[in-house]
Amino acid sequence: MIPNPILKVLSSMHEHRVRTLLMGGQACVLYGAAEFSRDTDLAILADPANLARLRRALKALVADVIAVPPFHVRHLRAGLAIHFRCKHPDAAGMRVDLMAKMRGVDPFPKLWSRRTTIELPGGTPCQILSLPDLVLAKKTQRDKDWPMIRRLLEAHYFEHRSKPTAAQVKFWLQELRTPELLIDVARNDSVLCQQAAVARPLLAHAAADDPVGLQHALRAEETEERERDEAYWLPLRRELERLRHAK
């Protein structure tokens, strides 16, 4: 269940026609992988008209920028997150984190075209990052994100395993992080597994029913992604430090 302060934030974004996509912990909750989060994390379209609508929504939430960077389109387009704190009585203390660009994730228009739409209590529609895009966005250097990726994929697998589509099987082969489930998928569809192994060689361990080798390969894959994320954020962290000193 989404807490009322987050519902207030999402309803404000909807009322002001702000083009945003829910991501982060609350999106994980809606996809069946519970994660406790006090924040509202949103991907946003960083064009002038949408940012003008966003400013009106933030004003309605009585939300102010906290920390750095300041609210400016150039920071959003550079890949930095901008953080706000709400003071509206219905969302008091709620933190809202906005990003327009993420490592390894498509530009916002493509994310929007693949979005998932649900109806919140009260009838407000909520636009959410698609599950495959959410998984990609979660591939960071943070320790907490990798168990969440695993739970998201497990929840999706167990929901659809009785009659999966080819697209779902390909998604599992590309992203599953649970050795026994990967082995099960590879056993049930060896042709798709062989095709997917071109881009993800560790699937050879799944096809060979080798859980130990597969586990080692999954850890190596995670390490490589963490290192890519660290390299991506290095210049952004330097920019944040510069902004802190300037402030």
pLDDT at 38: 75
Domain ranges of the chain: 4-137, 145-231
Using 50 as the pLDDT threshold, list the residues of the chain that sit under it. Answer: none
Q: What are phi and psi of 176, to 5 degrees?
A: -55, 145
Q: What are phi and psi of 40, to 5 degrees?
A: -115, 115
Tell me whether residue 49 is exposed, middle or buried, using C-beta atoms within 10 angstroms of its C-beta: 0 to 12, 13 to 18, 19 or more.
Answer: exposed
- Taking the C-alpha atoms of residue 108 and residue 66, their distance in angstroms, rounded to an integer, is 24
Alpha-helical regions (H) of the chain: 4-15, 24-30, 48-60, 73-78, 108-113, 131-137, 145-160, 166-175, 179-188, 190-196, 203-207, 211-246
pLDDT at 32: 86
Assess contact for 99 and 43: CB atoms under 8 A: yes
pLDDT at 36: 65
What is the fold of 4-137? Beta Polymerase; domain 2 (3.30.460)
pLDDT at 35: 67
pLDDT at 51: 97
Assess contact for 8 and 57: CB atoms under 8 A: no
pLDDT at 120: 86
The per-residue pLDDT for range 81-115, each reduced to its tens digit, is 999 999 999 999 999 999 999 999 999 999 999 99
pLDDT at 2: 61
Secondary structure (3-state) at 118: strand
pLDDT at 219: 98
pLDDT at 215: 98
Assess contact for 188 and 170: CB atoms under 8 A: no
